[in-house]
Amino acid sequence: MNSARELASDIRESRKSAMDVLEDFLQTIDAKERDVHAFNLVDRETAIEVAGKIDETVASGRDPGPLAGVPVALKDNLCTRNLATTCSSRILEGWEPPYDATVVQRLRAAGAVIIGKTNLDEFAMGSSTEHSAFGPTRNPHDLTRVPGGSSGGSAAAVAAGFAPLALGSDTGGSIRQPAALCGVVGVKPTYGLVSRYGLVAFASSFDQIGPFADDVADAALVLEIIGGHDPLDSTSIPSPVPDLSHGLERGVEGLRVGLVSELLEGIDEDVVAQVHQTADALRAGGATVDLVSVPAVEYGLTAYYVIAPAEASSNLARYDGVRYGLRAEGSEVAAMNSATRRDGFGDEVIARVMLGTFALSAGYYDAYYGKAQKVRTLTRRDFDAVYANHDLLLSPTSPSVAFKFGERSDPMNMYRCDTCTVPSNLVGDPAISVPFGTGESGMPVGVQIMAPQLGEAQMFQAASFIESQAPERGTA
Ligand code: GLN
């Protein structure tokens, strides 16, 4: 498949039309979407209209932008003006946001063609898309397996060739883990680097938007386009996004990489083997790789599964049958509120709201929420100590390759999928998942590179090197 960069330059220089490019992707969707179910909605008509306008812009000699005519799929928790945004939940049925998320605006301004909205675990709570109210997405590499989650639809869309680029959101790993399971690149940027204006909130102290792409350079380009200050998001960092595309080929000579020992425990052997191969490749490229300890990551998962539900219980209070989407019948307002929430939310969402409310309730606050926040501080300190003499950290992205549907129906087993990804969310650091080799049954493996805050440039540089050393990738 052509990279997004190649497609955009072909379109800008009239070697291809945006319309033909779009047609190719729509044909792939027609051929495979029935099996994969990556999308909640394919916005064919608008996409054709926009592609036509891009071609007109090129014909008139004007510059349509760095993503000219490139189809992009959006996770269905990103607000799109006058286009249904469901979060794969029944409670938002029929809701059409009156505005575009900032990232959507920036993509449009760069010439991208929004091709549709992708499936997710309801409100981004999950690691397999099995919690979607509209049925799961299937892994394009093996339809009997999950694509990961919660941004499983976005990862599958890129892996299946439905779009060269997609956006997802990552609260505890929801971009990186599905990227790993589907064999594509996925990035969680530094907290605050990408505006969340128009991202439906799950756990606001963790949520970040980031790209999926087939290669590292495409992901870097997307981050440059969607990143940078936005006055509409008060957590947005008041500086422009750093240059990420230049210097990707610099290699890793002299880089000091730490391999996180705690994140090699309890991980499947086939995955660990690829992480060691990655470490060898980095060493061969002139980096040093040594085993480091970040002790607090052992408590990361526990802390995350207290704080994230606590924040979710507060964020999801707005779905009351009055302001958005669904409304169930009730004899008076409170009865209508609770009937709407009971009918509109799936089991996982209800469980999280209850857990979160409990963790925040008087008498339990210090024991659960307060303690979890302390783990967060400890994790920051542990990472700082390691970064005092390391540039980057290496770990698996997911403890296993893509698993079969129903295999992790016990919630604790599902939550363990996030072991390696939640630490970066707890501290707000950036991390990327890069495909590297295969594991059990030939399924893709992803390795994770973590960096200190705003360390994206070096992170992408190392990721690009790893990609260049990775075994040949199979196509989905
Ligand atoms: N799997 C994690 C959860 O269920 C992370 C989800 C996410 O990053 N949105 O909370």
pLDDT one-digit tens code per residue, 179-193: 999 999 999 999 999
List pLDDT tens digits, range 207-256: 999 999 999 999 999 999 999 999 999 999 998 999 999 999 999 999 99
Regarding whether 335 and 275 lie in a shared domain, the answer is: no
The pLDDT of residue 68 is 98
> What share of the chain has pLDDT > 70, as a percent?
100
Q: Is the distance from CB of 201 to CB of 316 less than 8 angstroms?
A: no
Q: Is residue 248 part of a domain?
A: no
Regarding whether 342 and 420 lie in a shared domain, the answer is: no
List pLDDT tens digits, range 279-316: 999 999 999 999 999 999 999 999 999 999 999 999 99
Q: How close is the Cα of 286 to the center of ligand 1, in Å? A: 35
Q: How close is the Cα of 222 to the center of ligand 1, in Å? A: 22
Mutate-to-test residue for ligand 1 from 76, 89, 127, highest number of ligand atoms within 8 A of CB: 127
Regarding whether 285 and 148 lie in a shared domain, the answer is: no
List pLDDT tens digits, range 66-104: 999 999 999 999 999 999 999 999 999 889 999 999 999
The pLDDT of residue 198 is 98
**Residue 472: pLDDT above 80?**
yes
CA-based nearest residue to 11, from 71, 62, 54, 73: 54
Regarding whether 405 and 315 lie in a shared domain, the answer is: no
150 catalytic? Reply is yes
Task: Read off the pTM.
Answer: 0.98
Regarding whether 384 and 355 lie in a shared domain, the answer is: no
The pLDDT of residue 238 is 95
How many independent structural domains does the chain possess?
3
Regarding whether 172 and 97 lie in a shared domain, the answer is: yes
Regarding whether 322 and 175 lie in a shared domain, the answer is: no
- In degrees, rounded to 5, the angle at the alpha carbon of residue 95 between the alpha carbons of residues 92 and 97 is 120
75 catalytic? Reply is yes
Regarding whether 427 and 289 lie in a shared domain, the answer is: yes
Catalytic residue among 127, 169, 174, 398: 174
The pLDDT of residue 93 is 87
The pLDDT of residue 80 is 98
The pLDDT of residue 328 is 95
**Residue 259: pLDDT above 80?**
yes
**Residue 476: pLDDT above 90?**
no
CA-based nearest residue to 160, from 135, 130, 134, 139: 139
In 106-255 the beta strands, taken as DSSP E runs, fall at 113-118, 165-170, 185-188, 208-213
Regarding whether 146 and 30 lie in a shared domain, the answer is: yes
The pLDDT of residue 404 is 98
Angstrom distance (rounded) from CA 404 to CA 441: 12
CATH number at residue 80: 3.90.1300.10
Q: Is residue 49 part of a domain?
A: yes
Regarding whether 138 and 195 lie in a shared domain, the answer is: yes
Domain of residue 311, residue span:
303-366
Regarding whether 150 and 42 lie in a shared domain, the answer is: yes
Q: Is residue 332 part of a domain?
A: yes
Catalytic residue among 75, 117, 127, 154: 75
List pLDDT tens digits, range 434-465: 999 999 999 999 999 999 999 999 999 999 99
Q: Is residue 249 part of a domain?
A: no
Spell out which residues line ligand 1, taking CB within 6 angstroms: 124-127, 150, 169-174, 202, 308, 418
